[in-house]
A and B are shown apart, each in its own frame.
Chain A
Amino acid sequence: MTLSELAIILLSTVLVNNFVLAQFLGLCPFMGVSNKLESAIGMGGATMFVMTLASICSYLVDTWILAPLGLQYLRTIAFILVIAAVVQFVKMFMEKTSPLLYRMLGIFLPLITVNCAVLGVALLNTQKAHNFFESTLYGFGGSLGFAMVLILFSAMRERLAVADVPAPFKGASIGMITAGLIALAFLGFGGLVSAQ
């Protein structure tokens, strides 16, 4: 495990195999919470926290509980449980520390539970047989990429909100078209690092 391998995992998850734009995970919050920059920053931060923590916890649960007991077939349901617990923890933490952000995120905070990117990162970690540090970094990098595109996208959507978009394309549809064009731009990073 050298420094360059770590850098490759980070680069790969943030840019080349971005969870939203290349693997199409976590599209619901990407479209749902990107109307305002402030809430996108809040959601990005919360998701980063949850995703990193969830990939650590799910790694620990997988190696120390499921694998010794031979219960790998329970993996998906165990991970969902772990994620739900982590989200509940973040929710309580945020309610105490930042009530304003808590109110602004509203329904989207509990919705991190069903953000497929969070479950995706836990399952991909076991699929790729990552060790502890790789799992942590993979979760962190994936969530960093997610937060980055979410925040940039929300700044762009604030501008789209005042654009003279033809009526049939207003709202979510122009958002989807924009997301497609962004994914096209991210193809430019293709081959920057070998597949991870």
Chain B
Amino acid sequence: MALLNITSPHTHGANRTGRIMRLVVYATFPGIAALTHFFGIGVLINVFLASITCLAFEAAVMKLRQRPIMFYLRDCSALVTGILIGVSLPAYCPWWLVISASFIAIVLAKQLYGGMGFNPFNPAMVAYALLLVSFPLQMSAWPTPLPLLSDGQTTPSLVAALEKIFFGTHIDGYSSATVLDIMKQNAGLTLDDLYKKEAVFNGRWAGAGWEWVNIAFLIGGIYLLYKKVFTWHAPISMLAALAIMATLFYDSGSSNSSGSPIFHLLSGATMLGAFFIVTDPVTSAVSNKGRVIYGALIGVLIYVIRSWGTSYPDGVAFAVLLLNFAAPFIDYYTTPRTYGHKKPRRATDSTPRDGH
């Protein structure tokens, strides 16, 4: 009997792209549950529609490129993109908005670059930013969160939601400004007065509904950290940088203030961004040192765009895209030293250095 010629590696890890992505999908459940609790069934419809269309576009491109379809669908990366689109678009937004978002994310931002592992920009954030720039009205119409609805009113029923999404039927008391919108447009009121005047701030820390959504995404993120899906470097440095910026520029609530640190950490897409977008292994920096720089710069930019930019209330998508752009450069200068070499070797070096 001939000896079997088995080459290394001899041990196999359980980590496949599909397993990691499925863990990410599970980790979004608390956030989706919180969003659904506060904004109703529209969130689930968004997530469902976006996931289905993302998978469909992925399959269509694979068919066009004559690749095995099921092999690529099974890694679940398109599903994750779909879920992220679903939670970042406003609930009850028109159906064509969701489908265009899926098309932009999967076809334009991912498959044109060669698919999973090659896309330089986070697909969901490209879709969000492109649609925010193109359809600002539809993209900023967030529904009123549950605690602010008048007595006896509930979140829309399934039928009402479907009518709103597919036929544009009007729902009474449907949309209201988010806390970040109000904070941006505030001129002349101190924070204390603003909190008293606007019901939307009626939360414990950072406005009704949204603070719990952020805490739910934080819980999902901690689960992923515990499962070692990603390291702490990028998300923690992003949150730390955002908190430090907000603390440095917090003037204890004058009319020019842009909110306390806790307000920034628990409003908008902060936690979703920190644990589900910034940690994207494809579009972020690679080394640990690189990830700290990458995350921290995103945190700083989020604060800059939220506080001093006048165009957009939340800056997570743009900050992430800007740092996606800078990530290869960051990698270039933070390559770790390889064992046996004195200096780190650049990936693009054609000639070996220091004696090898």
Q: Does A191 contact B (CB under 8 A)?
A: yes
List chain B residues, Cβ under 8 A from A174. Answer: 112-113
Binary interface encoding of chain A residues 175-186 relative to chain B, with 1 for a CB under 8 A from any of its CBs, else 0: 001100110111
Query: Bound state CA distance, A151 and B333, in angstroms?
Result: 13
- With beta carbons under 8 angstroms apart, the residue of A155, A178, A186, A190 that contacts B310 is A190
Q: Does B146 contact A (CB under 8 A)?
A: no
**CB atoms of B113 and A163 under 8 A apart:** yes
**CB atoms of B312 and A152 under 8 A apart:** no
Q: Does A169 contact B (CB under 8 A)?
A: yes
Query: Bound state CA distance, A160 and B328, in angstroms?
Result: 10
Binary interface encoding of chain B residues 317-346 relative to chain A, with 1 for a CB under 8 A from any of its CBs, else 0: 111011011101101100000000000000
Query: Bound state CA distance, A192 and B312, in angstroms?
Result: 10
Interface centre among B109, B111, B308, B328 (most CB of A within 10 A): B328
Interface centre among A165, A174, A178, A181 (most CB of B within 10 A): A181
Q: For the complex, would chain B's binding face be called helix, strand, loop or mixed by DSSP majority?
A: helix
Known: A156-B120, A190-B312. A184 touches B321 (CB 8 A): yes
Q: Does B225 contact A (CB under 8 A)?
A: no
**CB atoms of B311 and A185 under 8 A apart:** no
Q: Does B304 contact A (CB under 8 A)?
A: yes
Q: Which residue of A lies closest to B326 (CB)?
A: A152
Q: Does B130 contact A (CB under 8 A)?
A: yes
Query: Bound state CA distance, A166 and B126, in angstroms?
Result: 20
Binary interface encoding of chain A residues 49-83 relative to chain B, with 1 for a CB under 8 A from any of its CBs, else 0: 00000000000000000000000000000000000
Q: Does A128 contact B (CB under 8 A)?
A: no
Query: Which residues A108-154 have CB closer than 8 A to chain B?
Result: 151-153
The smallest beta-carbon distance between A188 and chain B, in angstroms, is 2
The smallest beta-carbon distance between B344 and chain A, in angstroms, is 15
The smallest beta-carbon distance between A159 and chain B, in angstroms, is 5
- With beta carbons under 8 angstroms apart, the residue of A152, A159, A181, A190 that contacts B109 is A181
- With beta carbons under 8 angstroms apart, the residue of A184, A186, A188 that contacts B315 is A188
Query: Bound state CA distance, A177 and B110, in angstroms?
Result: 12
Q: Does A27 contact B (CB under 8 A)?
A: no
**CB atoms of A181 and B126 under 8 A apart:** yes
Q: Does A37 contact B (CB under 8 A)?
A: yes
**CB atoms of A185 and B322 under 8 A apart:** yes
Known: A184-B130, A192-B309. A165 touches B112 (CB 8 A): yes
Q: Does B305 contact A (CB under 8 A)?
A: yes
**CB atoms of B325 and A156 under 8 A apart:** yes
Q: List 29 A-B contacts (CB under 8 A).
A: A37-B329, A37-B332, A152-B325, A155-B329, A156-B120, A156-B329, A158-B348, A159-B120, A159-B328, A163-B113, A163-B114, A165-B113, A165-B118, A166-B65, A169-B112, A177-B112, A181-B109, A181-B126, A182-B321, A186-B322, A187-B311, A188-B129, A188-B309, A188-B311, A188-B315, A188-B319, A188-B322, A190-B312, A192-B305
